[in-house]
Chains A and B, each alone.
Chain A
């Protein structure tokens, strides 16, 4: 039996087709974007699981000030070991930042995108943010610029934003209801006053929505980020997704709340938990019917450098950058060659995949049997194939196989089993952590699995599988799914059937 490789949700598939623009995203959501948007974002590492193995991005920390407080943020925090938004080690003046960007771009030619994301709000620091953008637009026209904002001062900055080489703006929108917002934002700074509570949320929401509309009207791509906070905005985000899509946002990125007590945030200290992997996936699925969803966000630091999930920031500290002699016009020629080669490779891969998807879709139509969906974890270093040892994987990609086909669900981080030592600080072994991270998965596909973790994985209901090394991920997942079907492991539970209907 052949199963189709699909890029949309079960509910959409059951409607028998998908319109470009509305399809859910997966490992390669860009194939479902309208062509003019795909052309704009195909080499943006943040927007595609595929592109992020080829292209790199960096953030520069030029924007320290913020004009609001969020309950998941602590402005005192700065730790080089912390990998999460809002955290930086070194703040830059625009001139330094530009120097750093040129140094990175010349050293890592795959770097195509420069973002300003904080550590505060870029648009609450308009002079520093726009000076950086202005210099980069002049000196490095081959670098795309993007910016993220809480939206409070967005409407007054749209005109200025449209002057630079900026084609994406990310707005963090956690709510459209001020009563929900009052539980997320304790205060905003607005017209020379600190405003608290519901009133603050009301102003912030109105500004975000107005800013979104103005950017769309200007033809600037808007992505919306939302932090999923269980019990606060988890249900509400479905409505947010509908509204921002209707207003023209091209992508919605629902991210899990990070709230460790040691971060000292309001949520961390008051015991507000983040969502489980299952809760996050369920919400992303629920939103997906309305919106392109982003599934592979790694929640980078505000000064991250490199490919997604890696940070080479320590190679480019300011004292090291000052020592480097950069001839950018020369570097730009070399960069253009590297980009052309990557683009060619990506384009040929995309075409190959497209023709294959059409083929298996046709064969798949004849199949009538409905089987239950299964989650599988995959260890990969990139390139779309299974090529990582179980013990070396710092993260697993999660795929769902069902009678509709295979789709990318997200990624889950862990401590590599082979580097974990006996126990972590909290007495949990690296293997225990990985078992927990893989909860809900019924198989883990890797290039190799050692003898030691085999037993515990099986005992946890996760079948280790090293038989598909170097095979394309989706094909291997389908093969394993088919083996499970033949073995009679995929009978549909009645409850799940109803959910799909």
Chain B
């Protein structure tokens, strides 16, 4: 059970101090999650904290590779506008 940060990450640091398991670390070209440490915040918070503050849609994936914040879910920008 672990989340993953992918290349759309903008290195904004918002997630790093929130992680209760200290699983998030600064790396190049973007922040990474240590899969051994990540608990998806089970037992600590109702929602995984990194995905709860992350401003970039699609930057954090669950175990199945599905974005926790899919396109349009945070900005409200209609999908056809995002594609353009």
Contact = CB atoms under 8 A, between A and B. Distances in A.
Nearest to A65: B14
Given A187-B74, A189-B52, A269 B10 contact: no
A20 B49 CA distance: 49
B12 A192 contact: no
B56 interface: yes
Interface string B33-74: 000000000000111010011011000000000000000001
Interface in B1-51: 8, 10-14, 17-18, 45-47, 49
A328 interface: no
Contacts of B18: 192
Contacts of B17: 127
Contacts of B53: 65, 67, 189, 194
23 contacts: A64-B12, A65-B13, A66-B14, A67-B14, A67-B53, A69-B75, A75-B10, A75-B12, A75-B56, A120-B13, A124-B14, A125-B13, A127-B17, A186-B76, A187-B74, A189-B53, A192-B18, A192-B49, A194-B47, A194-B53, A266-B76, A269-B84, A270-B78
Contacts of A65: 12-14, 53
Contacts of A189: 14, 52-53
Contact of B11 (A91, A187, A270): A91
Interface of B: 8, 10-14, 17-18, 45-47, 49, 52-53, 55-56, 74-78, 81-82, 84
A269 B47 contact: no
B52 A193 contact: yes
Nearest to B15: A65
Contact of B13 (A64, A69, A78, A194): A64
Contacts of B74: 69, 186-187
A192 B20 CA distance: 11
Given A75-B10, A266-B75, A192 B55 contact: no
Contacts of A186: 74-76
B41 to A, nearest CB: 9
Given A76-B56, A192-B49, A192-B52, A269 B14 contact: no
Interface centre among B8, B11, B52, B82 (most CB of A within 10 A): B52
Interface residues of A, number: 25
A120 B82 contact: no
A372 B20 CA distance: 66
B-side binding surface: helix, strand, loop or mixed? loop
Nearest to A121: B14
A78 B56 CA distance: 14
Nearest to A189: B53
A183 B77 CA distance: 13
Contact of A192 (B14, B45, B82, B84): B45
Interface in A385-438: none
A182 to B, nearest CB: 11
B11 A64 contact: yes
Contact of B10 (A76, A192, A266): A76
A270 B52 contact: no
A270 to B, nearest CB: 7
A10 B41 CA distance: 60
A192 B45 CA distance: 7
A80 to B, nearest CB: 16
Contacts of B84: 269
Contacts of A125: 13
A64 B13 CA distance: 6
Nearest to A186: B76
Nearest to B51: A194
Interface in A186-208: 186-187, 189, 192-194
B72 to A, nearest CB: 10
A78 B12 CA distance: 12
B68 to A, nearest CB: 11
A120 B81 CA distance: 24
Nearest to A77: B10
